[in-house]
Amino acid sequence: MASLAHAGQRHQGGDETQVRPGRDETPLLLMKGISKRFDGVVALDQVDFDLRAGEVHVLMGENGAGKSTLVKVLAGAHIPDSGTIYLEGREHRFSHPQEALQAGIAVVYQELNLVPGLSVAENLFLGREPLHPALGFINNRQLLRSAAEILDSLGVSIPLKRPVAELSVAEQQMVEIAKAYAQNARVLVLDEPTSALGEAETQRLFALIARLKARGTGIIYISHRLEELAAIGDRVTVLRDGRRVGTFSVKDVSLDHLIHLMVGRQVSEQFPARSAKHGVGDVVFSAEGVSRPPKVHDVSLYVRAGEIVGLAGLVGAGRTELARVLFGRDGMVAGRMFIDGRPVAPRSPYEAIRAGIGFLTEDRKGQGLALGMTVRENATAASLDKFIRRGVISRRKERAETSRLVDELRIRTPSVEQVVRHLSGGNQQKVVLAKWLLTDARLLIFDEPTRGIDVGARAEIYQLMRRLASEGVGILMISSDLREILGMSDRVYVMRQGRIVGEMDAAGATLERLLSLAMGGAA
């Protein structure tokens, strides 16, 4: 994002600054005046958006800004209340995703749409398999030949006969993109494609995107990672509260201005400062020689009351595996653990919760929440004992306690009976936090606490973490974002190949030192 910094003052006049195509340049895609309401709530309000052939147009905005709704309108999943879509100059009205796909619009969502038990080749041509003209069954030789041609043309090397379930997330995404390319997609939407990728995998994805651009494919790229903008984008459009507030050439806009447009206020300090009055207390949690081969080996660490301890390392270093052991999801093979000096050896999450440990998982949708249940039901799920009297759950007490936390955490929800699936990512994360606050946990483990949430919600999560620390909770924070580690931690441990390879105070920690340790160098 350094390449954006020089242009910080160019767009300070107003939110409607934009870049427009030249008069003789017909956009590949043009969306005009798109509006959409849900039960009276305005999700999109007269949004204009255009995409050129061979361009990556980044779509940014806080969760709830309207990005997903705009994409679903384009993909035929939502019918707009008003507005028009033009593709290569022709007006289209999509009432079903299949219609949009047939017109040349493909969307690769975060939740990938592949059949795990089928091979790469079978997924590429699912529903469009080549048939023997005389016999009528699938021509497997032609299927493999066509699949090889597609992957070769995109520079992707993945075994065609391998089941998709055996692929990494990055490889599955490439199969999804190749599948869209095989369907002659002219417009490709990528929704948070790097949220679960490491640096090397991200660079492979960017190389694939560059090849698609060179072939004239127009790409709409949705991301919360501002640092990716300069690396991948040509233009950027910002949505806020269902409105388009600006479209810019990437080379002509600053990071600060984009953040200002996204949140509607100036964000002068990304990470909240520690209160001068706040100090750390006694050790609330310690681990000695904790092991669970092959991922965790002889790990010793401690966390004090009021302290945020960062756990850094590259993808595959064993950080999440360690967290699962500490929380009792995976059994500890060797070692000891203590809460407030008392020995604990949780053999299940239930025992860990009773001991005073909470775990905000990296996968909040798959493991942290029951998406089909309400805010109330999710918030009280780990502490139901508090609400049971004579074998009956007190709904009144549940609602009162959940309402208190909704107010304290500023969870944006119509009521505590709202189904969690319909909340934004940042608000879902706050519901997970509410669940663990009700357990009165002494140690909270945050695994990638801000992954997939927008810059405004991220700042709120940071503030909440600081507040919890000031109230004496010990926090162990796992993050792949080293700036987050440096910005939020009081102390930092670095893991590599399942072992702690370094410890340092925040004052002495630098990006260079953390990376050197994580990659096997000296501190």
Sheet-wide strand order for 82-87: 41-51, 29-38, 82-87, 90-92
Tell whether 458 and 390 lie within a shared domain.
no
Per residue, what are the HEC states of 148-165? Answer: HHHHHHCCCCCCCCCEHH
Do residues 448 and 318 both lie within one domain?
A: yes
Domain total in the chain? 4
Nearby residues of 357 by Cβ (< 8 Å), 6 or more positions away: 285, 326, 327, 328, 339, 344, 346, 441, 442, 443, 444, 445
> Tell me, what's the pLDDT at 80?
95
- Say yes or no: 68 and 207 in one domain: yes
Q: Indicate yes or no: pTM above 0.85.
A: no
Say whether the peptide bond before residue 349 is cis (omega within 30 degrees of 0).
no
User: What was the pLDDT predicted at 86?
Assistant: 96
Output DSSP code: residue 31: E
Return the ∠ at Cα 238 (arms to 214 and 446), rounded to 5°: 95
Domain co-membership, 465 together with 448: yes
Whole domain around residue 212: which residue ranges? 2-104+186-263
User: How far is CA 32 from each of CA 2, 82, 298, 342, rounded to the nearest angstrom?
Assistant: 33, 9, 59, 63
Provide the H-helix boundaries in 194-282.
Answer: 199-214, 229-232, 255-263
Strand partners, 443: 357, 474
Domain stops at, among 263, 291, 325: 263
**455 in the same domain as 322:** yes
435 and 453 co-located in one domain: no
Of 440, 438, 435, 325, the residue nearest 370 (C-alpha): 435
User: What is the CATH number for 236?
Assistant: 3.40.50.300
C-beta separation of 48 from 33 below 8 A: yes
Please give the pLDDT value at position 268: 43
What single-letter DSSP state applies at residue 419?
A: B
Q: For residues 65 and 14, what is the distance between their CA atoms, to the nearest angstrom?
A: 18
Taking only the tens place, the pLDDT of each residue in 167-213 is: 888 888 889 888 888 888 999 999 888 876 777 788 888 988 999 99
Residue where one domain finishes, among candidates 214, 234, 263: 263
In a domain, 239, yes or no: yes
Asked which of 124, 159, 181 is the last residue of a domain, the reply is 181
Rounded CA-CA distance 319/494 in Å is 9
Q: Is position 273 within any domain?
A: no
For the chain, 523 residues long, give each residue's pLDDT as a single digit of tens: 334 533 333 333 334 444 444 444 689 999 999 999 987 778 999 999 999 999 999 998 876 788 989 999 999 999 999 999 999 999 999 999 999 999 999 998 877 788 989 999 999 998 888 888 777 788 888 899 999 998 988 888 899 999 999 988 888 888 988 888 888 899 999 988 887 677 778 888 898 899 999 999 999 999 877 778 888 999 999 998 899 999 999 999 887 788 778 766 544 456 887 766 567 889 999 999 999 999 999 999 999 999 999 999 877 789 999 999 999 999 999 999 999 999 999 999 999 999 999 999 887 777 888 989 999 999 999 888 889 888 888 999 999 999 999 998 889 899 999 999 988 888 888 899 899 889 989 999 999 888 777 777 788 889 889 988 998 999 999 998 788 898 899 999 999 889 999 999 988 888 778 877 887 766 5
Cα torsion 418, 421, 422, 428 to 10°: value is: 80
Q: Which helix (H) or strand (E) holds 244?
A: strand 243-249
Domain-located, residue 272: no
- At 66, which helix (H) or strand (E)? none
Q: What pLDDT, on the 0 to 100 scale, is given for residue 214?
A: 92
Are 339 and 300 within one domain? yes
Reported as type and span, the H/E element at residue 193 is: none
Question: Do 328 and 346 form a contact (C-beta atoms < 8 A)?
Answer: yes
Q: Tell whether 447 and 351 lie within a shared domain.
A: yes
**Which DSSP state fits 412?**
-
- Answer yes or no: do 149 and 174 share one domain: yes
Tens digit of pLDDT for each residue in 111-139?
A: 778 898 999 999 999 888 888 877 778 88
502: DSSP letter: E
Kindly state whether residues 466 and 345 are assigned to the same domain. yes
345 belongs to a structural domain: yes
Interval 461-477: pLDDT, tens = 898 899 889 989 999 99
Is residue 271 in some structural domain? no
Nearest to 326 by CA among 282, 356, 362: 356
Whether residue 518 is found in the same domain as residue 500? yes
Asked, for residue 40, whether it belongs to a domain, the answer is: yes
Are both 74 and 207 inside the same structural domain?
A: yes
- Judge whether 362 lies within some domain: no
> Would 199 be classed as within a structural domain?
yes
